Amino acid sequence: MYNNDSRLQVNKGKLRLKNPVLSASGTFGYGKELESVANPDFYGAIALKGITVNSRAGNTPPRLVEVAGGIINAIGLQNDGVKDFVKNKVLPLKKYDTAIVANINGIKEDDYCVIAEQLEGTPIDYIEINVSCPNLEGGGVEFGKNARSIGSIVKKVKERTSIPLMLKLTPQVTDITEMVRAAEDNGIDIVTLINTYPAMAIDINTRKPVLGNVVGGFSGPGVKPMAIRLIWEVKKVTNLPIIGMGGICGWQDAIEFMLAGADAVAVGTWHFIDPSIAQKINQGILDYMNIHGFKSVSEIAGYTWRHHHESKKNRHNCCT
C-alpha cells in the first residue's frame, strides 16, 4: 500500500530505500507537520529541515516569494538546535516506515562534527551534510564552493559517526565534478543535488527588495533543466549513489532525473502545491516501467547516460 513494491527498491552502495522518492530538506518539516496531508510512509526517505548546533530564529520576513518558474526562499535555517532535535523531534519518527535523513549545517567546520556526534545512537538513517545553503551568513555554501573545505568536512564528520553520509551540493560552482571528487576521496557515501540558486526579486511599486533578507534561494520547475545537466556532469566522475532534485513536479520529471543518472529523487517546492505527490510519482514510475519494460528502478537510473556514451564510443570506433 505505501509504495512498497519491490521493483521500486533502491539498493546501491549505502543507499537502501524501499522506493526512490524522498522529501527534500526544508519542505517537509520534521515529518509530523504534514502528516494529515502527506503520510511519510509513502516516501523512500524523508529529509528533515536543516539543523544547526544552536537554535536559530531565521531571517526577517518576508521569507518567501513566488516568481515565474518557482519560489525564492530566505528562511535562514530557523530551527531549535541539535539538542532539541535529538530530544523532541527524532524519536516520534520511529513509527514511520521510511528512512530518516538529518540535514546538518555549519558556520564553522567543527559545527558539522558536533552535530554528527550527537546524532550517533539515534534512529537517524542518513546524515546529509549541507554545504550549499545560500541563507547562512558565513559557512554554508562557502564550504560547498571549495573542494578543499568539502574534503576536510567530509573527512572529519566521517571520523565521528557510523551513520552513512550524504553530501548536498550547490549548483553555484564552475566545476561540480571537482566537489564530487573531493567528497568521494574523503569517504562520502552518497551525493545529493541540487540546492537552490541565489536569486532576488524587487517590488516595482515600493521599489524595495521583496525579501527581508534581500536575497534568497530559487527553486521549483525553473531550475529543472540546470539540475538535470548537473546530474549528467556528476555521473561522469562517480559511481556513488546520486539523489537528484530541483524542480520535480511529477513522475515525468522524476524519470528524467533518473535517466540522467539519479538513483533516487527528492521533491521540494512542489510539496507546497501538492503534498500527496510521493504516491503519484511512485505510481507513475511503476506505470512507466510496465509500458517500457523496465524490471527495476536501477535499470532506469543512468539509462540515457549509459546509452549516450556507448553509442558515442561505437561511433568513434567505427570511424577510426
Ligand X SMILES: Cc1cc2nc3c(=O)[nH]c(=O)nc-3n(C[C@H](O)[C@H](O)[C@H](O)COP(=O)(O)O)c2cc1C
The single residue among 213, 219, 279, 282 that binds ligand X, judged by CB under 6 A, is 219
Q: Do 116 and 160 contact (CB within 8 A), yes or no?
A: yes
Q: Tell me which amino acid residue 286 is.
A: L
If binding is defined by CB under 6 A, does position 195 make contact with ligand X?
Answer: yes
Shortest CA distance to 247 belongs to which of 257, 238, 237?
A: 257
Which of the stretches 73-81, 257-265, 281-289, 300-308 binds ligand X when contact is defined by CB under 6 A? 73-81
Strand partners, 215: 200
Query: Which one, of 212, 237, 213, 243, lies nearest residue 130 by Cα?
Result: 243
Stretch that binds ligand X, among 29-37, 92-100, 151-159, 243-251 (CB under 6 A): 243-251
* CB-based contact 116:81 (threshold 8 Å): no
Which amino acid, 117? E
The residue within the footprint of ligand X, chosen from 26, 40, 106, 164 (CB under 6 A), is 26
Largest CA distance in the chain: 65
Interface with ligand X by CB under 6 A: which range of 88-96, 267-275, 287-295, 300-308?
A: 267-275
Look up 133 and say whether it is catalytic: yes
Q: CA–CA distance from 296 to each of 5, 10, 20, 212 (Å)?
A: 10, 9, 11, 46
Q: Is 176 in the site for ligand X (CB under 6 A)?
A: no
CB 281 within 8 A of CB 252: no
Q: Is 247 in the site for ligand X (CB under 6 A)?
A: yes
User: Strands 190-193, 242-245: parallel, antiparallel or unpaired by DSSP?
Assistant: parallel
Would you put residue 140 in left (φ > 0), alpha (ψ -120 to 50) or beta? Answer: left
Of 81 and 296, nearer to ligand X (C-beta) is: 81
Compare residues 223 and 294 and give the one whose CB is closer to ligand X.
223
Name the grid cell of 267: 521533491
Pick the binder of ligand X from 130, 161, 170, 279 (CB under 6 A): 130
134 makes contact with ligand X (CB under 6 A):
no
Of 230 and 301, nearer to ligand X (C-beta) is 230
Which residue is it, cell 556513488? 240
Which one, of 163, 196, 184, 156, lies nearest residue 242 by Cα?
184
Stretch that binds ligand X, among 37-45, 117-125, 263-271, 283-291 (CB under 6 A): 263-271
Instruction: Compute the chain's Rg from CA coordinates.
Output: 19
Q: Is 248 in the site for ligand X (CB under 6 A)?
A: yes
Given 113, 133, 249, 318, the catalytic residue: 133
8 A C-beta contact, residue 81 and residue 53: yes
* Residue number, 27 or 294, with CB nearest to ligand X: 27
59 counts as binding ligand X under rule CB under 6 A: no
In the complex, residue closest to ligand X by CB: 26
> Does residue 223 bind ligand X (CB under 6 A)?
yes
Size of site (CB under 6 A) for ligand X: 27
| 179 or 223: CB nearest ligand X | 223
When the beta carbons of 48 and 147 are compared against ligand X, the nearer one is 48
Q: Is 213 in the site for ligand X (CB under 6 A)?
A: no
C-alpha cell at 304: 540515457
Catalytic residue set: 133
Interacting residue ranges for ligand X, rule: CB under 6 A: 24-27, 49-50, 71, 73, 75, 77, 103, 130, 133, 168, 195-196, 219-220, 223, 245-248, 267-270
